[in-house]
Amino acid sequence: MTSSEELQRLIKATLEADANVMELAFRVYDHVSSTSPYGSKNSYIAFGPMDTVEDDAGCISGVETTIQLDIWTRKAAAIECRRLTDLVRRALHGKDLTLTENALVSIRVPLTRVFPDPSQDHHGVVQVTCLVEE
């Protein structure tokens, strides 16, 4: 399994196991294909772009992967989107998480943003940066 695939599975499982996150979010989507992604709740999380750059050190093969998590809420108030964005940050930033086939050196959340969307929903972005030894 590639490190990026393993990271995505780990992040998805971590968020789905967090009761505070899932109290607000209907689902964590790998790909949003549903015409009703909100389901029975007012928010959902979806994986956005993922970038990987080499970060080798000596004879150790490593990568730095940045993953964008998109937070969507159909609530009119930005505060609802901010709350879920903050909960996602808390669930991931600096946590001692473990990969099976690769070694997660660190996981950080250096950036969160919330902004209105023309659809009247609110869009939050959580940037997750991971260092992985492959």
Residues 94-129: pLDDT tens digits? 999 999 999 999 999 999 999 888 888 899 999 999
- Domains of the chain in start order, with CATH, are 3-133 (3.30.2000.30)
User: Which of the four pLDDT bands, split at 50, 70 and 90, describes residue 57?
Assistant: confident
Residues 51, 66: Cα–Cα separation, whole Å: 5
| Number of other CB atoms surrounding residue 110 within 10 Å | 11
Classified as helix, coil or strand, 65 is strand
Q: What share of the chain is helix, strand, coil (3-state, %, to 5)?
A: 25, 45, 30
Residue 93 scores a pLDDT above 90: yes
Residues 5-25: pLDDT tens digits? 999 999 999 999 999 999 999
